[in-house]
Amino acid sequence: MLIATSIGMLVATLELYRSQSAQQALLATSIRTSGWVAYQAELEFVNTHMALEIARVIPGDAQLADLSLRMEILLSRLPILYDSEEGRMIAQIDLFKPRIQEIERLLETCLDQLQSLPPDAAARASAVSRWRDELEPYGPILKTMLRESVLFNEQIGERERQLAETPATIPVVLGFGSGGVLIMLLLLQLRRDRRALGEIRTARAAQQGLETSLKSLIDAVPAGIVLVRPGTREVLFANPRARSLIGSDGGHPDWAALTSAALAVSGETESDQGEDRKPLVLNRPDGRILSLLTVVRDMVWQAEPVKLIAMADLTKLRDTELQLVHASKLASLGEMASAIGHELNQPLSVIRLAAENALRGLDRSIGRDVTASKLVRIVGQVERAQRITDQIRRYGRLPSSQNQHFPLRPALDLAIGFVANQYRLAGIALLGSFDLPAGIEVSGDQTMFEQVIVNLLVNSKDAFAEGPRRSSAPLTVHVSAKIEGSVVAISVSDNAGGIAQIVLDRLFQPLVTTKPAEKGTGLGLALARKIVRDMAGEIVGGNRDDGATFVITVPFQIPDCAAPGGPS
Amino acid sequence: MPPRSVLICDDEPELAEEIAEFFIALGWSARIVNSGPEALRLLESGFSPTFLMTDLRMPGMTGEELIARVRRLPAHLRPRYVVVVTGHIWETMTPAEFDADRLFTKPIDPDALVAELDRMTGALPAGPYRGEAS
Ligand SMILES: Nc1ncnc2c1ncn2[C@@H]1O[C@H](COP(=O)(O)OP(=O)(O)O)[C@@H](O)[C@H]1O
Ligand SMILES: [Mg+2]
């Protein structure tokens, strides 16, 4: 009975071992190069473990010879973990090294003792059991290393863990004794394993499909993408955009400059969220200076851990922003063209009639002072027309790229002056309350800042024209400015019914508008945010009471004044 | 020719003044107001001019609103003709859109204006402005 059980167990154990090896081998092909060494060590550890189990049950010469071979192989694998090029890539390998060396010493002792084992089966079995118990605790180390070294496919990783844990259950089951139950359990395990094998194949197919889609995606994106082998910095792949940015194919020295610069700026502060985008300036051999924004990420490419460098061309971006500014200005200038035309026709009418009246007065030889008063009036109207054209000129001027200090109050007055007549004609009260220290200055491009205020005021004016209002209060827009700690807060609020829900959370995105095409561009607020941010400030908007409120906060200075503070 | 009169409504005082002066020099009687409600008050008080000449864009009451209100006045209080003078730069406007008899755009050519008004009084039968009484 005992012999039958033992043979049954042996057969079952060998079956289990074979199926595990097959699965491990399959896993090995999917893991391939990356973590290969860690995987080999782990595989040999499992094999040694199995040899120990077998030799413990049947401590014959053949089994001990097999065990000795397994231990030798494992011993040869271990130093590769910390001594080879590939092994060095395992995360925190230096921390693992002392523990690995402990395993090596343990194996050497076992091998020594194996040479001089007594022929007595019971003594042999107890020696093998002792070795197994001593080696067992090191299993998790190798497993951890393997996991660290490879980016597992979710399913393969799960299956791997299951496989690695299975050997540990065998001794427990053996301890229970009954051969029949054991064999049944083992057969069940075999069935499960066969099913799992199918799952692994499917997972691998899915992984390959994913890699193909990933490649076509990377080819298509407008950002430059380069895959680099971490140690050697060899360029493994570059998408068309990256090739056109650098202007040559991989392997060229320019690429080395790019990849090492990108990896260097990405540095140690590699984090996977938010602000890890690093600006990078690159001199191309043709004299072009590229200003790139780079992101570096770890990823697995064809089963190998690589660095992915993504880069956006900032010079291009800057151009686009400038175009946006221009488009927006032209558009709002168009919006205002009719108002401007109307305003210019006003002084022209007065001039025309005053000149006519003066002329007729001359005919009827009316007093010189009457004629003189007409001429004074004409000069006044010409000045008025000139103020209008000046405003348009200010508005149309190109923005300067440098920030300059400018006095806040006159800028606000100019912006308000620009829309004042439109407001008057629309019957909207435009109230200002400024609680500012004398001479307060902010830093930026004055005309751009004025444009931000004009945009807000035009938006409020449009809002009154747009929909039915809930309140019957007089149409009012309030512009206020006051110090709030280290910034000055400029707010524009109206009682025109508020911002529509559908645009509320996308207000500052370009091309978001509720207005008809001839009136709105959806660029006003997008541009406002850009301009205010260029001034190191922020703009927010939302609904309050019965209307919209926009608040700009920007840093300020007070020239010839000790400390920026509240108004005295 | 009986003395003709004009009520000039423009929120731009200097312009209103110059127009008035121009007509006065031609022997017309002219009154100036700077807003729609003022014009209505003057008309309601019995000043019944040959022409009401009004701007369109004015704060408070627009020219269109003024004309609509004028049309609802009793016949004897209405001006004979309503003329719109506007600084709008659209070229497609017609006087009918504002229910006016004529439409002039700023800057006004005074001689053309007067010639046209003369033509109107000469060519059109005398009588109150043909607005529909409500
Ligand atoms: N004061 C306001 N009241 C209500 N809605 C507003 C106000 N300001 C902005 N909005 C909304 O935000 C949208 C975007 O504004 P903006 O970026 O200036 O573009 P645009 O004015 O050309 O539409 C507007 O179309 C409007 O729906
Ligand atoms: Mg706008």
CA distance B36 to B20: 17
Please state whether beta strands A487-494 and A547-557 pair in parallel, antiparallel, or not at all (unpaired): antiparallel
The average confidence (pLDDT) of chain B is: 85
- Chain A residues with CB under 8 Å of a chain B CB are 337-338, 341-343, 345-346, 348-354, 356-357, 360-361, 364, 377, 381, 424-427
Dump pLDDT digits (tens) for B59-97. Answer: 889 899 999 999 999 999 999 999 999 887 665 678 888
Task: Count Cβ atoms below 10 Å from residue A536 Cβ, excluding itself.
Answer: 14
In this prediction, residues B40-56 reach a mean pLDDT of: 94
Whether the Cβ atoms of residue A307 and residue A230 lie closer than 8 Å to each other = yes
Residues 6+ positions from B53 with CB-CB distance below 8 Å: B6, B7, B8, B9, B19, B83, B84, B85
Whether A197 is covered by a domain: the verdict is no
Best mutation site among A452, A455, A456, A525 for ligand 1 pocket (most ligand atoms within 8 Å of CB): A525
Radius of gyration of the CA atoms of chain A, in A: 40
| Cα three-residue angle A397-A399-A403, rounded to 5 degrees | 135
Which residues of chain A are within 8 Å of residue B58 when distances are taken between CB atoms? 425
Q: Are residues A275 and A334 in the same domain?
A: no
The domain ranges of chain B are: 5-121
Q: Are residues A381 and A274 in the same domain?
A: no
Q: Which of A266, A291, A313 is the C-terminal boundary of a domain?
A: A313
Our CA dihedral for A387, A391, A396, A402, rounded to 10 degrees, sits at 120
Claim: this prediction has a pTM higher than 0.80: no
Whether A212 is covered by a domain: the verdict is no
Whether the Cβ atoms of residue A407 and residue A438 lie closer than 8 Å to each other = no
Tokens of residue A375, six digits: 């001429």
Please state whether beta strands B51-54 and B5-9 pair in parallel, antiparallel, or not at all (unpaired): parallel
Ligand 1 contacts CB of residue A52 (under 6 A): no
Determine whether the interchain pair A357/B12 forms a contact, defined as Cβ–Cβ distance below 8 Å.
Answer: no
Phi, psi of B57 (to 5 degrees): -85, 105
Tokens of residue A110, six digits: 């076992």
Q: Are residues A131 and A242 in the same domain?
A: no
Instruction: Identify from A338, A346, A359, A366 which residue to disrupt to test chain B contact, counting B C-beta atoms within 10 A and taking the largest count.
Output: A346
Whether A292 is covered by a domain: the verdict is yes
In order, the DSSP letters of A322-352 are HHHHHHHHHHHHHHHHHHHHHHHHHHHHHHH
Q: Are residues A248 and A357 in the same domain?
A: no
Residue carrying structure tokens 């609802």 = B72
**Residue B7: its pLDDT value, please?**
97
Provide the number of structural domains found in chain A. 4
CA distance A71 to A103: 11
Atom 9 (ligand 1) nearest CA: A459
Q: Are residues A256 and A345 in the same domain?
A: no
Q: Are residues A23 and A141 in the same domain?
A: yes
Sign of CA dihedral A559, A561, A565, A567: negative
Q: Which of A290, A313, A336 is the C-terminal boundary of a domain?
A: A313
Whether A407 is covered by a domain: the verdict is yes
Q: Are residues A24 and A159 in the same domain?
A: yes
**Residue A252: its pLDDT value, please?**
67
Look up residue B83 and give its amino acid: V
Q: Are residues A393 and A415 in the same domain?
A: no
Sign of CA dihedral A166, A172, A177, A181: negative
Q: Which of A348, A369, A401 is the C-terminal boundary of a domain?
A: A401
Q: Are residues A54 and A163 in the same domain?
A: yes
Give the residues across from A332 on adjacent strands.
none
Tokens of residue A183, six digits: 């064999």
Calculate the CA A98 to chain-centre distance: 38
Residue carrying structure tokens 């206020």 = A480
Determine the structural domain holding residue A538 and report its residue range.
Answer: 402-568
CA distance A115 to A126: 15
What's A14's domain CATH number? 1.20.120
Whether A249 is covered by a domain: the verdict is yes
Determine whether the interchain pair A425/B58 forms a contact, defined as Cβ–Cβ distance below 8 Å.
Answer: yes
Whether A421 is covered by a domain: the verdict is yes
pLDDT tens track, chain A, 568 positions = 444 444 555 455 445 545 555 555 555 443 444 467 777 787 788 888 888 888 887 888 888 888 998 899 899 888 888 887 767 667 677 888 888 999 999 999 999 998 888 888 888 889 999 998 998 888 888 777 777 665 433 444 555 556 555 554 444 444 444 455 555 656 666 676 666 667 767 776 776 776 677 777 777 777 788 888 887 888 888 888 888 877 766 556 677 777 777 777 665 444 444 446 676 766 666 666 677 778 888 877 777 888 888 887 776 665 666 666 666 666 666 656 666 777 788 889 999 999 988 888 877 777 788 888 889 999 999 988 887 777 666 666 555 556 789 999 999 998 998 888 888 888 899 999 999 999 999 999 888 898 899 999 999 999 998 766 677 788 999 999 999 999 999 999 999 999 998 889 889 887 778 887 666 777 788 888 888 988 889 999 999 988 999 999 999 999 875 444 444 4
**Residue A388: burial class (beta carbons within 10 Å; 0-12, 13-18, 19+):** middle
Q: Are residues A294 and A260 in the same domain?
A: yes
- Three-state DSSP at A541 gives strand
Q: For B5-121, CATH number?
A: 3.40.50.2300
Residue carrying structure tokens 């209505």 = B40
Minimum-distance CB partner of A346 among B60, B106, B111: B106
Q: Kindly report each contact of residues B95-104 with a partner whose C-beta sits within 8 Å and lies 24 or more positions away, as own/partner.
A: B98/B56, B98/B63, B98/B64, B98/B67, B99/B67, B99/B68, B99/B71, B99/B131, B100/B67, B101/B129
Q: Are residues A265 and A346 in the same domain?
A: no
Alpha carbon distance, N-terminus to C-terminus of chain A: 104
Which residues of chain B are within 8 Å of residue A424 when distances are taken between CB atoms? 59
Q: Are residues A430 and A567 in the same domain?
A: yes
Alpha carbon distance, N-terminus to C-terminus of chain B: 32
Whether A208 is covered by a domain: the verdict is no
Which residues of chain B are within 8 Å of residue A353 when distances are taken between CB atoms? 15, 18-19, 21-22, 108, 110
Q: Could you give the strand order of the β-sheet that contains A235-238, starting from the edge strand earlier in sequence?
A: A235-238, A224-228, A304-313, A289-301, A278-283
- Closest atom of ligand 1 relative to the A525 alpha carbon: 17
Whether A228 is covered by a domain: the verdict is yes
Ligand 1 contacts CB of residue A103 (under 6 A): no
**Residue A84: its pLDDT value, please?**
76
Residues A38-49 as b/e (b if ≥16 CB within 10 A, e otherwise) read bbbbbbbbbbbb
Instruction: Using alpha carbons, list the distances in angstroms from residue B55 to A10, A388, B98, B108.
Output: 110, 20, 11, 12
If you count them, how many residues does chain A have? 568
What's A305's domain CATH number? 3.30.450.20
Residue among A235, A217, A239 nearest A227 (CA) = A235
This complex has an ipTM of 0.80
